[in-house]
Chain A
Amino acid sequence: MPAPTSRRALLTGAAALAGAAPILAAPLLTAPAIAQSKVEIEFYFPVAVGGPITKIIDGYAADFMKAHPDIKVTPVYAGSYVDTLTKAVTASKAGRGPQLAVLLSVDAYSLIDDELILPFDQLATTAEDKAWLAGFYPAFMRNGQIDGHTWGIPFQRSTIVMYYNKAAFQDSGLDPEKAPATWAENTAFAEKLTRREGDRTTRWGIQIPASGFPYWLFQALAIEAGAELANANGTKVNYNDPGAVEALQYWLDLATKQKVHPPGVVDWGTTPRDFLEGKVAMIWTTTGNLSNIRANAKFPFGVAMLPAQKRRGSPTGGGNFHLFKSASPAQQAASLTFLKWITSPERAAQWGIDTGYVATSPAAWQTPAMKAYLAGFPAAAVARDQLEFAVPELSTHDNQRVTQALNDELQAVLTGRKAPKAALDAAQANATRLLRPYAR
């Protein structure tokens, strides 16, 4: 489609001119005439949970354009998180990237190191803008706050919570309104919940998935045991912290010693299904599964914060909006308008209700829509209440590779090939080597 493309390029160029004009003290009197044309912004987004996400996003874009006729927003569905990152980065490197993209908050370092994104704090300078930036939950902002700048606006954010089967609690003589609050209780409950027939297990007590991105669930255990897996500026990891070793030993013991957790690597994708089938009584997974489990559970279920060892805790997760350097000043301003609109309390509340993601600002939880939703479904507030104990998701320079070093060793331990201490020492050595160029 060469014709529309070149037309858009022209328009974008015109918009750039229009935007640049005021900065250059408006030397051309024709500038206002050009400014009449629409500013176009394109944004890439991934879909990582069930539900009609693309339809919801397209609806938001249409509503926004009705309210702001001078801006044209084109949402582009780009696959999974990894696909979206791949597409946004390759398109940007080729000079035809989007202006905005929803990407994993932990990929901020890589985007900064590749000099692809712009910080929002240099753009949002008015008092109103600053109040907007300060309005989000601090736990969701931290992954995007690097080197004194704010690089990400929270959008589809989540944490890990525990889902438990209340019917199973009842038939095991446990109080269905009381989820385990400590690791010791967690083990004791899981032992009571496990059902065996000879040497077969017909129901497991607990399941913590470890395929794909085991580091995320492991981080929850590590936080609870008092370990911080990485430093604040992403240059150093503490994979073999004594707390981390304790956390991994606990996870392994659930499977090999108490035998209340399936052995080997438990699949992330089938874990909600295992829970719905009654094969497991307690699972750890993202809040993003809330709508799915609510729609399909044939038994009463509860949602609870993760249990504590030294403290409670869960990493945050999910995606932030990032602003790409390719955006012209006019597009940057339009992007800011759009972001302020889509993260407004009413929209954030609706988005949370529709998807199960955690609404990103305290104000969103005070909206009438959210209050009505919570009245009918109090479990939805658990993720918000857990935010008080939340820690930013593990994120460093060269993030994917540094976390992969941990993923491999975690899986080696869970499949019985390595001892926790030796594995975490190896992961630490490997990650330290990868991070050497960034150490300052």
Chain B
Amino acid sequence: MATMRRETVQAWLLVLPALLLLVAFTHWPAVATVLDSLFSTPRGSRPAHFVGLDNYAALMDDPVFWTALHNNAVYAAATIPASVILALAMALAVNTAIPGRPLLRMAYFTPTMLPMIAVANIWLFFFTPDYGLFDSIAAWFGLGRHNWLGDTATALPAMIAVAVWKEAGFFMIFYLAALQAMPPDLAEAANLEGSSRWNFFRRVTLPLLMPTTLFVLVNASINAFRLVDHVVVMTRGGPDNATTLLLYYIYETGFRFWDSSMAATLTVVLLALLGLLAWLQFGVLGKRVHYR
């Protein structure tokens, strides 16, 4: 009995440093955020007081919150599949023996190495009306100017394009690693059987890539809610909140409007949303993934 108790104590002591860090920097802030969302924002000499679910009720009445949620849904629905499919296509392309392969791999990976702020500034030039890259190209074909970032219809698609461009190269690396690890005898066997390339891809390559796909999907979903640096640089949520994403709205509420309770409330909503997504991906999709 005594040795067992000692072992238990020992085990806890070993876990303690990691546990302390985890509690201090992950769990406690999360709990504090939930608590803060139940109190009013302290201002000057007026301290915070308990308001229950008032902040959540106010959030439901906030049209900008719904706009941000809608924008984020569109942003996620577009960036996740687009960046994953593009990453897979790029990985398949640079996995075959073609001349200049290292160069091509590097070119695909470059956007990932650049800081998002730099990327946003480059794209700011691409999107500039009249003399920006896109309008210069359009001018050769006799097309007129486009105010890409100043039009509510094109501002969010512009943000999506930047995010896909930035992310696809990163995900490509994972697909490329998975493709390289695939035993070549599978392809040889399929060749002997006379299977078509498409059939081989659909029946063999794709299922074997499923663990990678799940990992990439999880990352892409997190990034769809986390990547807002380019919004800050390029549009600041405008025009008329057309590019306001949830995290950007949290930042604005917290550090521009100084409404820390409302920012906490928004954070709780975002956490719940991400939790739901993770549960869906691991719980539902995860069961259908074929692990070797």
Residue ranges of A at the interface with B (Cβ–Cβ < 8 Å): 82, 86, 89, 110, 113-115, 199-201, 210-212, 262-267, 269-270, 274, 277, 279, 398, 400-401, 404, 407-409, 411-412, 414-415, 417
Contact partners of A401 in chain B: CB under 8 A: 257, 259
Shortest Cβ gap from A173 to chain B (Å): 24
Name 8 A/B residue pairs within 8 A (Cβ), A-sorted: A86-B255, A114-B43, A211-B235, A211-B236, A265-B151, A404-B252, A408-B241, A415-B152
Closest to B153 in A: A415
Interface string of B140-154 (1 = CB under 8 A from A): 000011010111100
Q: Which residue of A lies closest to B154 (CB)?
A: A264
Contact of B147 (CB < 8 Å), options: A115, A265, A269, A409: A265
CA distance A404 to B235 in the complex (A): 14
With A86-B255, A201-B145, A211-B239 already in contact, the answer to whether A270 and B128 are too (CB < 8 A) is yes
> CB distance B256 to A262 under 8 Å?
no
Question: B45 contacts A267, CB within 8 Å?
Answer: no
Across the A-B interface, the 6 shortest Cβ-Cβ residue pairs:
A265-B150, A115-B44, A264-B150, A411-B239, A411-B240, A264-B147
Contact call B44/A415, Cβ cutoff below 8 A: no
| B207 at the A interface (CB under 8 A) | no
Chain A's closest residue to B259 (CB) is: A401
Question: In the complex, A251→B170 CA distance in Å?
Answer: 44
Contact status B258-A262, CB under 8 Å: no
Question: How many B residues, CB 8 Å from partner?
Answer: 29
A400 and B255 alpha carbons, distance in the complex (Å): 10
Q: Are B238 and A212 in contact (CB under 8 A)?
A: yes
Partner of B131, one of A82, A262, A277, A408: A277
The verdict on A114 contacting B236 (CB below 8 Å), with A262-B145, A415-B152 known, is: no
For B147, list chain A residues within 8 Å (CB). Answer: 262-266
Say yes or no: A212 contacts B43, CB within 8 Å.
Answer: no
Q: Flag B226-268 by CB within 8 Å of A: 1 or 0 each.
A: 0000000001101111100000000010011111000000000
**Bound-complex Cα distance A264 to B144 (A):** 14
Given contacts A110-B258, A262-B129, contact A417 B240 (CB under 8 A): yes
A267 in contact with B150 (CB, 8 Å) = yes
Query: Contacts A82-B256, A114-B43, A266-B150 hold; do A199 and B144 have CB atoms under 8 A apart?
Result: yes
What separation, in Å, do the CA atoms of A417 and B239 have in the docked complex?
Answer: 11
A211 and B256: CB pair below 8 A?
Answer: no
Which residues 108-162 in B have Cβ within 8 Å of A in the complex? 124, 128-131, 144-145, 147, 149-152
Distance of B132 from chain A, by nearest CB (Å)? 9
Given contacts A115-B44, A201-B145, A279-B131, contact A415 B150 (CB under 8 A): yes
Task: Report the separation of the CA atoms of residues A250 and B239 in the bound assembly, to the nearest whole angstrom.
Answer: 19
Task: For the A-B complex with A267-B128, A407-B238, A417-B152 known, give 9 more contacts whose Cβ atoms are closer than 8 Å.
Answer: A201-B145, A210-B150, A263-B151, A264-B151, A265-B239, A266-B147, A401-B259, A412-B152, A417-B240
Rounded to whole Å, the gap between the CB of A3 and the closest CB of chain B is: 25
A279 to B152, CA, bound (A): 23
Interchain nearest-CB distance for B40 vs A (Å): 11
State in angstroms the CA–CA spacing of A113 and B258 once bound together. Answer: 11
Task: Tell me which residues across on chain B come within 8 A of A408, comparing CB atoms.
Answer: 64, 238, 240-241
Asked if residues B239 and A274 are in contact (CB atoms below 8 Å), the reply is no
CA of A398 to CA of B43, assembled, Å: 11
How many Å from the CB of B208 to the closest CB on chain A? 47
Cα(A398)–Cα(B235), bound, Å: 23
List the B side residues contacting A210 at CB < 8 Å.
150, 239
Closest Cβ of chain B to A113, distance in Å, is: 6
- Min C-beta distance of A288 to chain B, whole Å: 19
- C-alpha spacing A213/B52, complex, angstroms: 35
A406 to chain B, nearest CB (A): 11
A415 to B235, CA, bound (A): 14
* A210–B124 alpha-carbon span in the complex (Å): 16
Digit string of B70-92 for contact with A (CB within 8 Å is 1, else 0)? 00000000000000000000000
Residues of the A chain whose Cβ atoms lie less than 8 Å from the Cβ of B150: 210-211, 262, 264-267, 415
A106 to B217, CA, bound (A): 45
Whether the pair A113, B129 counts as a contact (CB closer than 8 A) is no
* Chain A residue at smallest Cβ distance from B236: A212
**What's the minimum C-beta distance from A89 to chain B, rounded to whole angstroms?**
7
